Amino acid sequence: MDTTNLILAIFLVYWAAVAYLNKKGVLEKYNISAYGPILMIRTVRGLALLDKLAKPRRYWRVFANTGIVLMFIGMFAMLFIVILSDIALISSLTENAMPQPGKFNEARNVFLIPGVNEFIPLTWGIIALVITLVVHEFAHAILARVEDIRVKSMGILFALVPIGGFAEPDEEQLFGEGKDEFGSPAINEKKATRNQRARILAAGVMSNFAVALIAFVLFFGPVLGAVAPMSDTMVVDVKEDSVADIAGIEKGMVITGIDDREVRYANDVVAYLNKTETGSTVTLKAAKDREIREYELKVTDRQDTGDFGIYINDIVDGSPAERSNLEKGMFLLSINNVTTQTPEEFVNFMNTTTAGQEVEIEVKTPEGENEIYTLTLGQHPDGNSEKGFLGVYYGTDGVKNIPLGLSIGEYPAHEYLDMLKGLPSMLTGVAGWVILLGLPIIGFAGEGFPGFSGTFAQFYEP
């Protein structure tokens, strides 16, 4: 069962359970209302805390008044973005230049739902959503108490995961609407003025702006300040039954040193080993999950050492590479029998190609098998260039076989961290804001920034 069907099955089971509990009156017993699969979970806990938090009334009114201004700015900014998007869409339709289907415009990635949108991790996405909802609704409730409006309850909207939140102020006090003794609508004198209502409604948006600012300052301040690259060199492959394999070195480890020398680039390892004799022993320092260990390895025969090929880090969606089933983790060896085992050789060859040209590409699979792929190069994304486009992401240096029974490659860990640290200084221009807002999805080069997690985290400490 694929992921989509599994999620659908879980949701249907959840919905059936909600319907059953609602029919039996269990939900009503706990002050929970069901609207289809959506649960409205109310609570009166924490209402006394609201009065304490609302005591610095002057501060909260200044806070909310600022939120009114920022809310209007945000409204106009979003309207401007929607208009630009519509213009771009109409232009694409009239010029027959609709974007190729890809992960950026998949239906699942339109919804900012953790676990559904592939750019939002499930665990961290739910944590962020809960924080956003709690802060947002608490701000509404606090401002209601600042303006002496009674808050009847607070709660969240739940549909397998939290999807919303609410603070339930007294509508009669807020809007002056109530019901008479016969249940008919009755109009009473409004207790809240227009400015008071505006402050209450704007408080939630302002609180989210405040949380975003705090997160921004923490991330680009102490968090990035405490992060340091361990090395740019990673173990790409380990030959079976080699000295490295027997010693316990694994694919994905980061090499930080060899003997008494620190390692940053793959060429640092190659240059050092070129000065050693076959049969001598070296101490390789490699990290897994940021824990550095030392491995005693004997230098083996150098017959199969040197450039091994370009390691394919990722594939561009909708590109000729994807359509031809090239995959992440393959090694690019040659094109049309021309060796392309280093980035320089690859770039030099691609500069001689044209869009629509048919080429034969030789790759080595992660299993060690050599395969040939025939494909037609596409139009280069740079509209001013006539050269062909393959659609692969690769490192700054090619993968290299070294006489320790393993292959190493590079990831620009130092450069990436420097770009992240330099992002705040770019916010004086539009480009900086575009990069910042698109960082989780697009990143700096279309790869997306996943945070310091997974393979990406291997290159950094602590």
3-state secondary structure 363-394: EECCCCCEEEEEEECEECCCCCCCCEECCEEE
Instruction: Please say if the pLDDT value at position 454 is more than 70.
Output: no
Tell me 277's DSSP state.
Answer: P
Helix (H) / strand (E) containing 258: strand 254-258
Give the integer Cα–Cα distance in Å for 13 and 250: 41
What is the arithmetic mean of pLDDT over 22-51?
84
pLDDT at 66: 92
For residue 268, the model assigns a pLDDT of 85
Q: Give the mean model confidence (pLDDT) for residues 49-65.
A: 89
Q: Tell me the pLDDT band of 59, cut-offs 50, 70 and 90.
A: very high
Which has the closest alpha carbon to 353: 384, 387, 319?
A: 387
Type of residue at 380: H
For the chain, percent of residues with pLDDT exceeding 70: 84
Span 92-99, average pLDDT: 63
Task: Look at 8-12, 279-283, 322-326, 428-432 and tell me which has the smallest mean pLDDT.
Answer: 428-432
Q: What pLDDT does residue 304 have?
A: 55
**DSSP tally for the chain: helices H, then strands E:** 15, 23
Least confidently predicted of 100-114, 173-187, 208-222:
173-187
Of all residues in the chain, the percent with pLDDT exceeding 90 is: 4
Q: Is 8 helix (H, G, I), strand (E, B) or coil?
A: helix
- Looking at residue 410, what is its pLDDT? 78
The string of pLDDT tens digits covering residues 148-206 is 888 888 777 888 777 777 777 887 877 765 555 445 545 555 577 888 888 988 888 89
Residue 182: per-residue pLDDT: 47
More confident position, 81 or 223: 223
Any idea what the Cα angle at residue 164 is, between residues 163 and 165, rounded to 5°? 145
pLDDT at 97 over 60: no
Taking the C-alpha atoms of residue 409 and residue 265, their distance in angstroms, rounded to an integer, is 8
User: Cβ distance 259 to 282 under 8 Å?
Assistant: yes
Average pLDDT, integer, range 232-255:
85
Name every residue whose Cβ is closer than 8 Å to that of residue 69 and which is 6 or more positions away in sequence.
none
Q: Which residues contact 86 (CB under 8 A, 6 or more apart)?
A: none
pLDDT in tens, 270-327: 888 878 888 888 888 988 888 888 888 888 765 555 556 777 877 887 788 888 888 8
Q: So what's the pLDDT on residue 63?
A: 92
Residue 21: is its pLDDT beyond 80?
yes
In whole angstroms, give the CA distance from residue 420 to residue 432. Answer: 11
Q: Are 398 and 308 in contact (CB under 8 A)?
A: yes
Q: Tell me the CA distances in angstroms from 12 to 2, 151, 188, 267, one per residue in order.
A: 16, 34, 45, 55
| DSSP assigned state of 220 | I
pLDDT exceeds 80 at position 358: yes
d(CA 173, CA 142): 15
Q: What is the mean pLDDT of residues 374-392?
A: 79
**Cα(263)–Cα(251) distance, rounded to whole angstroms?**
17
Would you place residue 62 in the very low, low, confident or very high pLDDT band (cuts 50, 70, 90)? very high
The Cα–Cα gap between 66 and 444 comes to: 33
Q: Is the peptide bond before 462 cis (omega within 30 degrees of 0)?
A: yes
CA–CA separation, 247 and 241 (whole Å): 10
| Residue whose C-alpha is closest to residue 265's, from 406, 393, 396 | 396
Check if the beta carbon of residue 187 is closer than 8 Å to that of residue 177: yes
Q: For residue 282, what are its two tokens?
A: 């070296």
Give residue 303's pLDDT: 56
| Phi, psi (degrees; rounded to nearest 5) at 346 | -65, -50
Quote the CA–CA distance of 148 and 204 in Å, as a whole number: 17
* Category of 139 on φ-ψ map: left (φ > 0), alpha (ψ -120 to 50) or beta: alpha
